[in-house]
Structure 1
Amino acid sequence: MPRDHCILAFNERVMDWARREDVPLLERLRYLCIVSSNLDEFFEVRAAPQIVAVKTMAQGVYNAADGLQLLRKAQDLVARQYALYNQSLLPAFHAAGIRIVHHHERTAAQRKWVHRHFLQAVKPLLVPVALDPAHPFPQVANKSLNMVVRLKGGDAFGRANEVAIVKLPRALPRLMALPASISGKQRLFVSLSSMVRAHLPELFDGREVVEAVQFRVTRNTELLVEEDEVDDLRTALRQELAYRQFGQAVRLEVSDRCSDFLAGTLLQEFDLPPQALFRVPGPVNLVRLSELIDLVNAPGMLFQPWQASWPRQLKPTTKVMAQMRKQDVLIHQPFEQFDAVLELLREAVHDPDVVAIKQTIYRTGAKSELMDLLGKAVRLGKEVMAVVELKARFDEEANINWADALEAVGAQVVYGVVGLKTHAKMLLITRREGRGLRRYGHLSTGNYNPKTARLYTDLSHLTCDPVLTADMDAVFRHLASPNTRPQLNKLVMAPFMLQQTMRAHLESCRKAALKGEYARVVIKSNAMTDEVLIQALVEAGHAGVQIDLIVRGACMLPPQVPGATDNIRVRSIIGRFLEHSRVFYFAWGTQHEHLLLSSADWMRRNMTRRVELAWPVTEPRLRQRVIDECLVAYLHDDRDAWIQQPDGSYLPAAHPQTGHGAQTALMQLYGA
Structure 2
Amino acid sequence: MNLTATPPHSFPGKAPMTLANFLTAPFPEPVEIPGLDITGPARFHNRELSWLGFNWRVMEEAGNPRVPLMERLRFISISATNLDEFYTVRVAGLRELARAGNTTPGIDGLTPAEQLELINAEARRLMQSQQSMLDGLLAEMTSEGIHILSRRDLTEADRAELDTIFLDKVFPILSPLAIDPAHPFPFIPNTGFSLALQLERKGNKTAQQALLPIPAQIPRFIALPSGDETLRYLPLEELLLDNIKRLFPGCKLKSHCAFRVLRDSDLEVEEEAEDLVREFETALKRRRRGEVVRLKISSGAPHGLREVISRELKVGEEEIVEIDGMIGISALSELVEASPARLLWPGFTPRVPERVQDHEGDMFAAIRQKDMLLHHPYETFDMVVRFLEQAALDPDVVAIKQTLYRTSKNSPIVEALCEAAEAGKSVTALVELKARFDEAANIRQSRRLERSGAHVVYGFVDLKTHAKISTVVRREGDRLVTYTHYGTGNYHPITARFYTDLSLFTCDTALGRDATKVFNYVSGYAEPETLENLAISPLTLKPRLLDMIAREAEFAKAGKPAEIWAKMNALIEEEVIDALYAASQAGVKINLVIRGICGLRPGVKGLSENIRVKSIIGRYLEHSRIVCFGNGHGLPSRAARVFISSADWMGRNLNRRVETLVSIENPTVKAQIVSQIMAANLADVAQSWLMAPDGSFHRVALTEGEFAFNCHKFFMENPSLSGRGSAGASDVPKLTHTET
- Given the two structures, how large is their TM-score scaled by the length of structure 1? 0.95
Equivalent AA in structure 2 for residue 355 of structure 1: V
In 2: Cα distance, 1:242 partner to 1:607 partner: 30
Match in the other structure for 2:115: 66
Give the conservation status (yes or no) of the 8 Å contact 1:68–1:275: no
Deviation at 1:9, TM superposition (A): 0.6
3-state secondary structure, aligned to 1:588: coil
Tell me the secondary structure at the aligned position of residue 634 of structure 1: helix
Choose 265-274 or 490-499, whichever is displaced more.
265-274
Counterparts of 1:172-571 in structure 2 under 5 Å? 172-180=218-226, 186-226=230-270, 228-296=271-339, 298-315=340-357, 317-571=360-614
In structure 2, the residue matched to 1:121 is 169
TM-aligned CA deviation for residue 56 of structure 1 = 8.2
Of 658, 661, 665 in structure 2, the residue corresponding to residue 614 of structure 1 is 661
In the TM superposition, residue 549 of structure 1 has moved relative to its aligned partner by 0.9
> 1:255: how far off?
1.9
Q: Percent identity?
A: 36
Alpha-carbon distance in 2 for matches of 1:144, 1:378? 40
Shifted more, 367-376 versus 271-280: the winner is: 271-280
1:119-158 equivalent positions in 2, closer than 5 A: 119-152=167-200
Aligned Cα root-mean-square deviation (Å): 2.1
Structure 1 counterpart of 2:213, from 167, 191, 211: 167
* Residue 102 (structure 1) aligns with: 150
| Between 380-389 and 66-75, the greater mean CA deviation after superposition | 66-75
Counterpart of 1:647? 694
Match of 1:80 among 114, 117, 129: 129
Structure 1 counterpart of 2:242, one-letter code: A
Mapped partners of 1:97, 1:475: distance in 2: 55
- TM-score, normalised to structure 2, is 0.86
* Letter of the structure 2 residue corresponding to residue 636 of structure 1: A
Contact in 2 for aligned 1:130/1:165 (Cα 8 Å): yes
Tell me, what secondary structure is at the counterpart of 2:356?
coil
- Which SS does the other structure have where 1:638 is aligned? coil
Contact 1:313 1:330 in 2 (8 A): no
**In structure 2, do the counterparts of structure 1 residues 612 and 59 end up closer, same or farther at CA, with 3 Å as the change threshold?**
closer
Distance change in 2, residues 1:391/1:154 (3 Å):
farther
Structure 2 letter corresponding to 1:125: I
- State the secondary structure of the residue aligned to 1:474: helix
C-alpha distance after superposition, 1:167-209 (max 9, x if no partner): 111211111111235xx66321111100111222332333332
Q: Separation in 2 of the partners of 1:578 and 1:185?
A: 32
Alpha-carbon distance between aligned partners in 1 of 2:150 and 2:98, rounded to the nearest angstrom: 37
- Asked whether 1:634 is paired with 2:676, we answer no
Structure 2 residues without counterparts, runs of 5 or longer: 1-44, 106-110, 721-731, 733-740
Structure 1 partner of 2:4: none
Select the residue among 569, 585, 588 that pairs with 2:631: 588
Structure ranking higher on relative contact order (CA contacts 8 Å, 6+ apart): 2
Distance of 2:285 and 2:469 partners within structure 1: 31
* Secondary structure, counterpart of 2:718 in structure 1: helix
Say whether 1:661 aligns with 2:703.
no
8 Å contact from structure 1 (residues 44, 220) kept in 2: yes
Shift of 1:55: 6.9
Alpha-carbon separation, structure 2, partners of 1:58 and 1:236: 28
8 Å CA contact retained: 2:195, 2:211: yes
How far has the Cα of 1:119 moved from its partner?
Answer: 3.3
Q: Which one-letter code corresponds to 1:396 in the other structure?
A: E
Deviation at 1:622, TM superposition (A): 1.3
> Do structure 1's residue 112 and structure 2's residue 149 form an aligned pair?
no
Q: What are the superposed Cα offsets for residues 70-111 of structure 1, whole Å, 9 maximum, x if unpaired?
A: 11100100100110101x111111111211111112222223
| Corresponding residue of 2:738 | none
Q: Judge conservation of contact 2:536–2:660 (CA < 8 Å) in 1.
A: yes
Q: How far 1:348 sits from its partner (Å)?
A: 1.1
Cα separation, 2, equivalents of 1:302 and 1:225: 43
Shift of 1:576: 0.4
CA separation of 1:155 and 1:487: change in aligned 2, threshold 3 A: farther
Larger displacement relative to structure 2 (502-511 or 480-489): 480-489
Query: What corresponds to 2:40 in structure 1?
Result: none
Alpha-carbon distance in 2 for matches of 1:537, 1:516: 18
Partners of 1:155 and 1:161 within 8 A in 2? no
**8 Å contact 2:518–2:528 — kept in the other structure?**
no
Number of the residue aligned with 1:601 = 648
Q: Contact conserved, 2:260 with 2:296, CA < 8 A, in 1?
A: yes
| Larger deviation, residues 522-531 vs 587-596 | 587-596
Tell me the CA shift for residue 243 of structure 1.
Answer: 3.4
Distance in 2 (alpha carbons) for counterparts of 1:313 and 1:3: 43
Moved more, 454-463 or 623-632: 623-632
SS at structure 1 position matched to 2:258 = strand
* TM-superposed deviation, 1:155: 9.7
Q: In structure 1, how many angstroms separate the alpha carbons of the residues matched to 2:371 and 2:527?
A: 30
Shift of 1:116: 4.2
Unaligned runs of 5+ in 1: none
User: Does residue 133 of structure 2 align to residue 89 of structure 1?
Assistant: no
Q: Is the 8 A contact 1:57 1:63 kept in 2?
A: no
Helix, strand or coil at the partner of 1:584 = strand
**Deviation of 1:430 (Å):** 0.6
Aligned equivalents of 1:208, 1:180: Cα separation in 2: 31
The structural deviation recorded for 1:153 is 5.4
Deviations for 1:119-151, whole angstroms, at most 9, x for unmatched residues?
343233222222122211101011122111123
1:81 counterpart letter in structure 2: Q
Q: Deviations over 1:500-554 (max 9, x none)?
A: 0000011111122222222111110110011110111111111111111110000
